[in-house]
Amino acid sequence: MTDRRTGFLFMLLAVLVALIFTSLVLVIAGASPVAAYWYILKGSLGSWTNFANVMVAWVPLLLATSGLLITFAAGLWNIGIEGQIVLGGIFTTWVLRLLQHSAMSPALILILAIAAGAIGGALWSVLAGVLKVYGGVNEIFGGLGLDFVAVALTLWLIFGPWKRPGIGSMSGTEPFPEKLWLPTVAGSRLSLWALLLGLIGAAVVYFLLSGTYFGLKLKAVGKNPRAAHLLGIPTTAYLMSAFLLSGLFAGLAGAVQVTAVYHRLIPAISSGYGWLGLMVSMLINFQPAWVAPVTLFFAILNIGSIQLPIVLKLDSSLSGVLQGALVLSFLLMAGARQRWQEKHGQEVSRE
Amino acid sequence: MSSHEILIGLAGVLFAAAPVVFATIGETLTERSGIINLSVNGTILLAAMASFAVSVSTHSLWLGFLMGMAIGALVALTVAFSSIALKQSQVAVGFVLTLMTRDLSYFLGNPYMGLRGPRVQSLPIPVLGQIPIIGPLFFRQDPLTYLSFILIGAAWWWVFRTRPGLTLQAVGERPEAAYARGAPVHRLRYLYAAVGGALVGLAGPTYSLSVKAGWKGTISGLDGIGWIALALTIFGGWDPIRGAAGAYLFALLQWLGLVLQPYMPNIPSQVLQVAPFPLMILTLLLVNIGNAEWVDRTLAGLPPDARRWVRRILRWMQVVPPASLGVPFEEE
C-alpha cells in the first residue's frame, strides 16, 4: 500500500470512529443518530438563509484559526484566544460608542472601529506573551486566566458604564444605529465585507507561514528555541510577534462579531470560536491549506445543531461532542498510523 | 458578623474546598509520574453530571461516586494511552478531552437539569465534634470532607515517605534511571494516571451530590474549577500539602467574595466570581518569576541586604516541575 493510501484509509477510519462514538452518545440520549445528522445538514445547508448563517459563523472562526496557526508555528498554545476575541469586541464597541454621534462618515468610523478591535486583541495577546516570556507563566494558564478576566470585563461594561438606558441586561449594550452596521446581503445576516476580511486573513496567514522567511524562522523557533537562538534568531522577538499577530487576528474576529453580526456588545461575544479554532488547528495538524475547508465544516456543524433543541429536544452542544470526537479520533489515528507503519517497515512520513 | 457566623463560614470553606483538594491532589499524583492530564475541567463537569444522573436513577450515592471516579480514571487513561502507546502530545489530547467532556456533560445532562436527587448527609463525630472551635471546623462535616483531610496527609506521606513514592518521584524526574533500576515506567504512569484521574473524577460527585447538589447545566458554576485545580498543582509545587493549602486559599477567597459582595453593590456578582482567575495568574507569576533571568539582573542592582531578602522570598515561593513532565519515554 502506498503511503498516501494508508493516510487516506486511516483518515477514513478516524471519521468513522468519531461518527460511531457520537452515534452511541445519541443513542444513550434516546435519540436517533440518523435524524440528528439529517437535521444538522438540513439546518445548515437546507436553505439559502441557513447557509448564509453558516458563512456568518465561518468568518470569525476562519480569522481565529488563522491567527492560532501563527502561535502554533512558534510552538505556543494560545489558549488566551477567547479573551482576545472578546477584547476585539470591546475595543470595537468602544470606538463605535465614541464616534457614533460624530460627523465622520460611517465607513471611516467602521474602519477605525475594526482596526481598534484588532489592536485590542493584540494587546491582550501580548499581555499573555509578556507573562510567558518575562514572568515564566505558561501561556496556557496565563491565557486562560485572561480569558476569564475578559469575560468579566465584558459583563462589567454591560452592567456598568455601558449599560442600556434604564437597567443593564444580559442582552448586551444598546444596539448601534443601522448606518454603523457592516452592510449585509439582502435578506440575510451575511456581510460580504466580513467574508472578504476572513478570506484575506486566511490567505495572509497561508502566505506568511509557507512563503516567507519570517514564517520559516518562526517555525524554527517553535521546533527548537535553543537551536534557533544559537542560529542567531532573536527568539524573544519572534515569540512576541507571534502573540501580537495571533491576537490581531483574534481581535478582528471580535470586531466582525460586533460590526457585522450583533451590532452591540453581548456577554458571549466570542461565541466560543476561540476554543473551536484550537480544535480545528489540532484536527488539521496545523497545516494552513486546510484552515478554510475545515473551519467551514465546523461552522456547518455549529449552525446545523442550533435547531436540535427545537426539532429533537436535544441540547445543541452535540456539535461540540462531534467536533471533539473528530479531533480526538484524528489524533489517536495519527498515532496508530505511525505505529502501523513502523511495524510494516515503512518510512514514517512527515507532513 | 458574629464570631459564630465566622466559624460557620470557615467550616463552610473547608467543606467547599474538598472537591478542589481531590482534583488538585489527583493531578499532583498524575503529574508526579510525568503525565499532564489537562482534561481536569471537563472531567469534573462530566463526572458531576454522570454521577448525579446515576444517583437519581438508582437512588444509590455509592454508584454515583463510583461512576464519577470511573469517568475520571477513564479520561486520564486516554491521555496516558495516547501519549505512551501512540506518541501523541499530552497537551493536545488533554485539551480536546477537556472540551469534549464538557460538551458531553451538557448534552447528556440535559434531561437531568434541575431534578432533585439524593445528597450526602453530614456526619458529626461524637465527642470530638463537641470541642469548641475545632469541633465545628473539623468534626461536624460530611464524610467527603473528612476524606479530603485524610487524603492530604496520606498523599504527602505516600509521595515523600514511602518506597513506592520514591519510585514515583524518580519516574517523573529521571525515567531512564528509574527504568534501569527496574521500575516499570509505563505501567506506573498508567497506574498514577488512573488513580489521579479517579481523584479528579471524585471532585465531580463531591459537587453534584454534596457541595453544590444537583445538576444545572451551563449555570452549575463548576466550569473553570478544573483549571484552578491545574494551576494549584503548579502553585503547590507538586506537593500535596502545599497544593491543598492553595485549594483552601481559593475557597476562602470565594467565601470572602460572597461575604463582601453586599458592601460592593457596584460590582456585578459575575465579576467577583472570576476574581480567582487574575489571582491564579498572579500566584503563578510569583512562583515562576524567580526562574526569570531579568529578575536576577535587576536584583544585582539592589543593596545586598534587600537583595538577600528578596532572593529568600523568591526561593521560598519558587517551584520546579518534575523534570520529565510531559516528556515521552521509550522503554527499551
Angle (nearest 5°) at CA B317 between B240 and A124: 100
Question: With bands split at pLDDT 50, 70 and 90, how would you rate the model's confidence at A347?
Answer: low
When CB atoms are compared, the residue of A138, A321, A334 closest to B104 is: A321
- The mean per-residue pLDDT over the stretch A116-137 comes to 95
- The mean per-residue pLDDT over the stretch A13-21 comes to 96
At residue A167, the pLDDT reads: 76
Rounded CA gap, A267 and A90, in Å? 10
Please check whether residue A263 is in contact with residue A110, taking contact to mean a CB–CB distance below 8 angstroms.
no
Please, is A290 exposed, middle or buried when counting C-beta atoms within 10 Å of its C-beta (0-12, 13-18, 19+)? middle
At residue B287, the pLDDT reads: 84
Please check whether residue A150 is in contact with residue A82, taking contact to mean a CB–CB distance below 8 angstroms.
yes
Question: With bands split at pLDDT 50, 70 and 90, how would you rate the model's confidence at A346?
Answer: low
Q: For chain A, what are the domain ranges?
A: 56-295
| pLDDT surpasses 90 at B2 | no
| Residue A39 in grid coordinates | 437535521
Per the CB < 8 Å rule, is A331 touching B96? Answer: yes
Per the CB < 8 Å rule, is B107 touching A28? Answer: no
Q: What residues of B are in contact with residue A148 (Cβ under 8 Å)?
A: 224, 274, 277
- The mean per-residue pLDDT over the stretch A31-44 comes to 94
Amino acid at A260: A
Question: With bands split at pLDDT 50, 70 and 90, how would you rate the model's confidence at B136?
Answer: confident
At residue B55, the pLDDT reads: 96
Please check whether residue A68 is in contact with residue A125, taking contact to mean a CB–CB distance below 8 angstroms.
no
When CB atoms are compared, the residue of A314, A323, A335 closest to B87 is: A335
| A:151-170 residues touching chain B, CB 8 A cutoff | 151-152, 155-156, 159-160
Tens of pLDDT, residues B26-39? 999 999 999 999 99
Helix A213-223 × helix A192-211 angle, to 10°: 70
User: How many Cα atoms within 13 Å fall on the side-chain side of residue B230?
Assistant: 27
Per the CB < 8 Å rule, is A315 touching B107? Answer: yes
**Cβ atoms within 10 A of the Cβ of B87, count?**
14
- Which 3 state secondary structure label does DSSP give A313? coil
Tens of pLDDT, residues B20-66? 999 999 999 999 999 999 999 999 999 999 999 999 999 999 999 99
| Residue B280 in grid coordinates | 491564579
Q: B231 — contact with chain A (CB < 8 Å)? A: yes
- The mean per-residue pLDDT over the stretch B210-219 comes to 90
- The mean per-residue pLDDT over the stretch A166-183 comes to 86
Rounded CA gap, B120 and B14, in Å? 16
Q: What residues of B are in contact with residue A146 (Cβ under 8 Å)?
A: 281
Q: A141 — contact with chain B (CB < 8 Å)? A: yes
Q: Which residues make Cβ contacts (< 8 Å) with residue B70, sequence separation at least 6?
A: B198, B201
- The mean per-residue pLDDT over the stretch A279-300 comes to 95
Q: B149 — contact with chain A (CB < 8 Å)? A: no
Tens of pLDDT, residues B278-325? 888 888 888 888 777 788 788 888 888 888 888 888 888 788 888 888
Please check whether residue A77 is in contact with residue A128, taking contact to mean a CB–CB distance below 8 angstroms.
no
Smallest Cα distance from B30 to chain A, Å: 18
At residue A294, the pLDDT reads: 96
At residue A350, the pLDDT reads: 47
At residue B3, the pLDDT reads: 86
Tens of pLDDT, residues A48-98? 999 999 999 999 999 999 999 999 999 999 999 999 999 999 999 999 999
Cα A260 to Cα A118, A126, A192, A264, distances in angstroms: 15, 26, 9, 10
Tens of pLDDT, residues B112-128? 999 998 999 999 988 88
Question: With bands split at pLDDT 50, 70 and 90, how would you rate the model's confidence at A351?
Answer: very low
* Average predicted confidence (pLDDT) for chain A: 92
Please check whether residue A26 is in contact with residue A318, taking contact to mean a CB–CB distance below 8 angstroms.
yes
How many helices (H) does chain A have, and how many strands (E)? 14, 0
Q: Which residue has the cell 456581510?
A: A191
Name the nearest CA neighbour of B137 among B230, B225, B8, B29.
B8
Tens of pLDDT, residues A231-289? 889 999 999 999 999 999 999 999 999 999 999 999 999 999 999 999 999 999 999 99
Please check whether residue A258 is in contact with residue A269, taking contact to mean a CB–CB distance below 8 angstroms.
yes
ipTM, two decimals, is 0.91
| pLDDT surpasses 80 at B85 | yes
Rounded CA gap, B28 and B159, in Å? 10
At residue A1, the pLDDT reads: 55
**Residue among A321, A326, A330, A338 with most chain B CBs within 10 A, to mutate:** A321
Q: Which domains does chain B have, with CATH numbers?
A: 3-317 (1.10.3470)
* Average predicted confidence (pLDDT) for chain B: 91
